Amino acid sequence: MTATPRAIELLQLAARAADSKQAEDMVALDVSEPLALTDIFLLASGRNERNVIAIAGEIEDQMIEAGVKPLRREGRSEGRWVLLDFGDIVVHVFHDEDRQFYSLERLWSDCPAIALELETTSQEA
C-alpha cells in the first residue's frame, strides 16, 4: 500500500506552507504500510517556539483554506512539538531540540521518503 494521490497533494500544500514560514529540515514519510489511520507524516523543524507556532499556524490556515480541517491539534500553546492531524496526513512541527530527542525519522526509518515539491521564491529586498 502507498500514500494516496490526495494525501500527496495535501503533503505538498502543507510543505509549501511550512516553507513559507522558514521551516527547516522537512522530511515526508509514507507511513501507509504500517499505519492504517494515516498515509503520510510530514516532519519539520522551527528555530524557536515562535517559529514552530508560526509554521504550524500557516499550515493549518492553508489546509483550512483548501477545505481540509484538522481532526486534532496538540502542543500549539507550548511551541515545542505541534501535531496537526488532517486524516490522510499528520504534520509534526518540532523545536530543533525536541526533534533530535524524539527522533521520529529513526523510529520510522523503514518507511519510504516522499519528495517535496517546494517552490523557489526570490527574496525581497
Indicate whether 17 pLDDT > 50.
Answer: yes
Query: Please, which residues have CB within 8 angstroms of residue 63's CB and are 6 or more apart in sequence?
Result: 10, 13, 14, 17, 69, 70, 84, 86
Sheet holding 113-114, edge to edge: 72-74, 81-85, 89-95, 40-46, 24-30, 113-114
Query: How far apart are alpha carbons 90 and 43 in whole angstroms?
Result: 9
Question: Would you list the domain boundaries of the chain?
Answer: 5-114
Span 24-68, pLDDT tens digits: 999 999 999 999 899 999 999 999 999 999 999 999 999 999 999
3.40.50.2020, 3.30.420.40, 3.40.225.10, 3.30.460.10: CATH of 5-114 = 3.30.460.10
Q: Can you name the residues that pair with 90 across neighbouring β-strands?
A: 41, 85
